Amino acid sequence: MDEAQIDRLGTRHRECLRLYGRRYKVKEIARELGISDNTVNGYLTEAARLLNVGRGEAAALLLAHETAHPNSRGRFSAGDDTPPPPPGPVPQRVATESVSVWSAIFPLRPTGGQSNTLPWQTRILAILIQLILLILLVAVAVAMYTIYLKPLGSLLS
């Protein structure tokens, strides 16, 4: 691999490739870097195009290059001898937000949260639960009208 091709990669290209090489998913990379999924896809695609390889191979080439040249552009600052973290399994991410019963029944998006983070099965289940609750509410309202208000109306007339 020509070193000039690797040097053409920008800082964001490198950041995305590093995380992609550690088996992060595009959504996880986007969350980690604070950018959108589409932007991450754009950086990965452009980096692969610049290196004339696929995304996975581009990540592997960058890792090999940065291992061989630890002071390459975008990797370490001058005088920083800290080695890069070894590639390995993706660390487990722990949810920091508490989940209440209501958020399980009504999975609404939190303020500032990403949309479309729930799997489609969960969305369908949430819609069905909400529909069942609505039917029960209507049934209770009809029963209360039939039992209490209708006889009361006939007494008053």
User: Domain-by-domain residue ranges, the chain?
Assistant: 3-68, 101-156
CB atoms within 10 A of CB 90: 11
Whether the per-residue pLDDT at 69 is higher than 70: the answer is yes
CATH number attached to the domain at 3-68: 1.10.10.10
Give CA–CA dist 112/152, Å, rounded. Answer: 50
Among 84-88, 137-141, 144-148, 150-154, the range with the most confident prediction by mean pLDDT is: 137-141
Q: Distance (Å, rounded) from C-alpha 139 to C-alpha 136?
A: 5
Mean pLDDT calculated for residue range 63-88: 59
Q: What is the pLDDT of residue 67?
A: 82
CB under 8 Å to 64, separation ≥6 — which residues?
1
How do residues 139-149 score in pLDDT, each as one tens digit? 999 998 888 88
* pLDDT band of 81, cuts 50, 70, 90: very low
> Can you tell me the distance from the alpha carbon of 60 to that of 72, in angstroms, rounded to the nearest whole number?
15
DSSP H or E run through 136: helix 120-144
Stretch 45-52: mean pLDDT: 90
Report pTM: 0.47
Euclidean distance between CA atoms 58 and 17, whole angstroms: 7
Model confidence at 132, pLDDT cuts 50, 70, 90, reads: very high
Residue 99 has pLDDT above 80, yes or no: no
